[in-house]
Amino acid sequence: MSDKQLPTTQHAVLIREFGEPEVMIYQDGVAIPKLTDNQVLVKIAYAGINPVDYKTRQGKGWGAEAIQKDKFDQNEPAILGCDVAGIVVKSNSDKFAIGEQVAALTFDGGGYAEYVAVDAHLLAKIPQSLTLEQAGALPCIGQTALQFVEFADIKNGEHVVINAPAGGVGHLAIQLLMDKVTQDNVKVTVICSPEKYAKLDDLIDKSKLAGWIDYTKDDAFPDLQADVLLDLVGDDAGIRALSVIKSGGRVNVLPTIWVDKLKEAGSQKNLKVAGYKAQRSGEDMARVLQLIADGKLTLQIQQIYPLSEAVAAHHELQKGDTFGKIVLKVS
């Protein structure tokens, strides 16, 4: 598609301030981003939404700091969204040609729009057996789950506890962990509600789990003397889960904003607490796309909203009870 055929403006969801979902405004007439060297212009088909999106919209964390500095302080609006899948319509890279289907995790925002400029090294081509819808759901949760489980450096025979195993990142991470049960004699215990525990049947062989803790009960969590906690919730739920870990055990938490709170809460047990933030990588994007294509990972999409209903999609995600992923349909 030549520049003459490309439109100059687009529909997009803009924010001009931090706050509730209603600060997001869907509007027309938004300029299409200009490409710099080695960037690719992608016409977005689907854009996943992630907890980092609503935390950023609320003014929390590194995403909000970047928007304040780069956009709001310059009196410019921002576009949220770091998961994108679509079709290349212009390319300044010799690795990607016009018409190819691609996906990426950007962290620069721009996903809640019809077009986005993406650095070529962040992109991966979508295998033919995958849909754009699947690819749009995958970038953040797929790369995060893959990297988070590797970051945890789980040793042969260790006991791992994971909370939120049916959420966006969790429903992929639990599948990766169950591979370790088979290969490395690892034990896995999950913390979740009865409703989510029932849904795990769609993802894993639950008979291979070491145990299940129902957090909806008031009882104290058992002291499992587990080696590793993979905490995908943080805050008070993360603190409550610390009781399952042995003294000197390892706690890996997403998002990173809860590290200090968990360190303080677990100080008497001398726990090693580390936060993790996904690293954007075209190679990891390709790896996780291929895992889905090969049937080695099952991707669960809970609901698809049109881009114009981003406000409703954020309200749904913030309830905190999704099974899998919520995605925006852009075009």
pLDDT tens digit sequence for 130-189: 999 999 999 999 999 999 999 999 999 999 999 999 999 999 999 999 999 999 999 999
pLDDT at 117: 98
Cα 307 from Cα 172, distance rounded (Å): 25
Element (H, E) at 89: strand 83-91
Segment 68-87, tens digit of pLDDT: 999 999 999 999 999 999 99
Sheet holding 211-214, edge to edge: 211-214, 187-192, 159-163, 226-231, 245-253, 272-275
Contact 110, 33 (CB under 8 A): yes
Predicted pLDDT of residue 2: 54
Residues 6+ apart with CB under 8 A from 92: 35, 36, 37, 38, 39, 40, 120
> What is residue 3's predicted lDDT score, i.e. its pLDDT?
63
Q: What's the CA gap between 175 and 126, in Å, rounded? A: 21
Q: Report the DSSP beta bridge partners of residue 72.
A: none
Assigned CATH class of 142-275 = alpha beta
The CATH code of domain 9-137+299-329 reads 3.90.180.10
Q: Does pLDDT of 1 surpass 60?
A: no
pLDDT tens digits, one per residue of 270-293: 999 999 988 999 999 999 999 999
H-helix segments, the chain: 51-57, 61-70, 132-137, 139-151, 168-184, 194-199, 235-241, 259-265, 282-293, 310-318
Helix (H, G, I), strand (E, B), or coil: what is residue 221? coil
Per the document, the length of the chain is 331
| Residue intervals in the chain for CATH 3.90.180.10 | 9-137+299-329
Question: Six-digit token pair at 92?
Answer: 């300044």
Residues 6+ apart with CB under 8 A from 233: 163, 164, 241
Residues of the chain with CATH 3.40.50.720: 142-275
Residue whose C-alpha is closest to residue 241's, from 214, 207, 202: 214
Which pTM does this prediction carry?
Answer: 0.92
CA atoms within 13 A on the CB side of 198: 3
Give residue 255's pLDDT band: very low, low, confident or very high (50, 70, 90): confident
Share of the chain above pLDDT 90, in %: 91
**Residue that the structure tokens 């062989």 belong to:** 205
| Pairing state between β 123-125 and 101-105 | antiparallel
